[in-house]
Every structure is written in C-alpha cells, then in structure tokens.
Structure 1
C-alpha cells in the first residue's frame, strides 16, 4: 500500500544521500562495537548499511517499501547484510527484543502527542549496558528551513530528552549548529541535537 513516505522516496536518487549521517559517525564511539543494532525509521539505508559495513549486526525498520528496496540495493552494492523489516514505527513490536545499540536518526515525523510512546519503546529496546543514540533537529531548525518538518513541536530539546530518558545514564546531550550536505533532504545550515544514553 502506497503511503506518504513511498511518494517521498520515489525517484532514482537517494533523498538523504548514501553516506551515513554526520551525527552517527561522530557518535559511533559510544556504540557497543559489533553489537546487535536496531536502526528505526531507517529510510533508504544509508545509516544501517554504514553500520553493517563497520561490523555491526544490523536490523533496520522502515514504513516505506520504496525506501527499503533502495536500502536493499545499497546494501547489495556495499556487500553487507542487513535484516530489513517493513514496520510502522508505532507498531512497537520491534521493542520487544533487547539490542546492544538502538539508533534513531531524524525521526522528526513523530508528532508530539506520540513522542512519549516512541521514547518509551526506544528505551525498552536498549538492553542493560547497551547504547541508545538519537540524532535530530532542535526547534530552531524550522527557521533555517534546510530539512525536517515545519512544525517546531516535532523537534527535540536537551531538556525534553533528559526528562524522557532520566532513568538511563546520559552520556551526550547537546544542541549545536552545523552545515549538512546529506542529499537534497538535509542540506545547509542546520540546528541539531545529539543524544546518547546507556541502558
């Protein structure tokens, strides 16, 4: 069944490019090396394929079949294995299993009334001693207009994430600005947030 994301990802190019998010590269040292890793809302596979190429055992979920077909092609080209699962992010069945690493990058499409639900699922999926990694936008991103939705309520703040994951050991929680060049979807000066916590 076609959905908004199938339409968004239609086309031969990769909306956010084929290279991993800069935030993922910067925060990778916090991950459990080679661990069982869940990448939620993975899109066209740039982050899951990168992690697989680095030796992680990767499971990647996304709601768009179009995106996942492109992700599978990217994995094949890179010569890596990724378990791709077609799944709505709100179907939290993926959080019934514990992972060494849980990675959520630019999942800004989650509306504020459902953020708590998703945050709970992300934490539940992170095993004791495992790592939860979130990389996304702060509300200041809306004024920049270089990616993400136009509603600041869909963005994160350090206080929001500190409150949501107060039961975990927070390692990184910082907002900053940087220039992204990640396909036509994320391009230009950006208001970003990096968050890492241990289960």
Structure 2
C-alpha cells in the first residue's frame, strides 16, 4: 500500500511541537490530533526527536493526503494550539521561534522522507495480534521490513510467510524514502517489532 506523500509533500505536511518530553507523550498527542480533528484516512503521523541547541523535545508531523486536507488541518491546529505550542506548514508558523523551528524541522524531515517514526498510517489498524510478513506489507503503508542483525541477501527480506507478533504496537520509520519496520527474532521462529510497548501499547482505548 503506498503512502500519500508525493513530490509536493512540503505542501501537505504540518509540523507540531507541543513540548512532548518523550515518545509516549508524542504518541498521545498524535492520537489526540488525528482522532480529535477527524483527520482523513491516508494521513501519516510521525514522531521526531528534536535535539538542537534551542530545543529538546519530541515533535510530531502530519502528512495529509492532499493540499486541501492539509489546509483544513492547519486551521484546526491553529484553533487548538496554545502560545507554548509551535506549528509549521510551508512558510507559515505559529508560536515561539524555538517551538516553531522544531515543528518546521519535523515537517521537513517527514516531507523529505528522511526521518520520522510513524504512529498513525494507512493499514495500522490491521496490524494487531499475529500477522505474516506478506500481510504486513500488503495491508499497510509499510514499504519494507528488515531483521536486525540479519543482513538481507540480494535485497530480499524475510520469508513472506513468517509470522510477526505485532504486540499491537507497530512503529515503522522513514529510511531512505521508504517506511521501514525493524524486526527482531521472536519465540517459535516468528518475528516481532524491534520497538517494545512501554509499558503497554499507547492509547489502547483509541482503537
């Protein structure tokens, strides 16, 4: 399944920095924005670790399916954002220079598909319980899976029939322009996402 971000991604990606201190807080923020704003199917929302001289936080980015949807989302972000929240969309910003700069960096990373840990994306709701590698790739926006410590042969990944125990927590990352999920060996010859829920899957009640 392809993701919605195209060559004009800069016109569809919004960055938001609400001062989240860690990934869990940022995951909650994403669910609040995606669910609370009623963002359309096809939205890809990611977390970004911001570590600059001016800002240390975990910002988020929202890649909307098209420019029109992004404009609507931007209006909703501005209506919601307080004075301590930074936001960026193209050449428009909100908030302090430090917070807006962090939001812009998150948006740029996502638009360029250079970085970003995806929390909400097409097909994520299907990645629960145990699925196969083939289903994971076929039912969601995940483009590629890699097994940590097991270099691929001729670019091939794990056997498509291999079971993946998702733990209902699947967080792929943008790597070299592709949404990539890192896996590790699990019991019984299965695989599991490298990132472990801590301490439990975030926002289970958002299902």
In the superposition, the TM-score normalised over structure 2's length comes to 0.31
TM-score of the pair, normalised by structure 1: 0.32
Larger % of helix: which? Answer: 1
